[in-house]
């Protein structure tokens, strides 16, 4: 596995774990609605980006580019 792939997988894992951890903290600590909305929106956006990268069109495009580079 390349260093770049290790970095992407590590960062993706960190964001997903952070998403669920932060979400649980916000539920159980009863933070203010403003704080919950701000952090919740940021976390949902980051989580959606990670899912889109690993399972969406970005992943397919990346796989295609890698396949074309390997052919040459």
The residues, any chain, with a CB within 8 Å of residue 53's CB and separated by 6 or more, are 8, 12, 59
Chain segment 26-68, per-residue pLDDT in tens: 878 877 778 778 877 888 888 788 778 777 766 667 777 777 7
The whole-angstrom separation of Cα 71 and Cα 69 is 5
Question: What pLDDT is recorded for position 57?
Answer: 67
The whole-angstrom separation of Cα 69 and Cα 63 is 10
Please check whether residue 39 is in contact with residue 22, taking contact to mean a CB–CB distance below 8 angstroms.
yes
Question: What pLDDT is recorded for position 49?
Answer: 83
Cα 15–Cα 18–Cα 22 angle in degrees, nearest 5: 140
């Amino acid at each position: 596995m390349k260093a770049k792939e290790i970095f992407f997988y590590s960062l993706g894992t960190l964001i997903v774990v952070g998403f669920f951890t932060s979400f649980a903290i916000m539920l159980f600590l009863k933070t203010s609605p403003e704080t919950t909305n701000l952090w919740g929106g940021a976390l949902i956006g980051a989580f959606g980006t990670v899912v889109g990268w690993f399972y969406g069109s970005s992943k397919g495009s990346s796989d295609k580019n890698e396949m074309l580079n390997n052919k040459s």
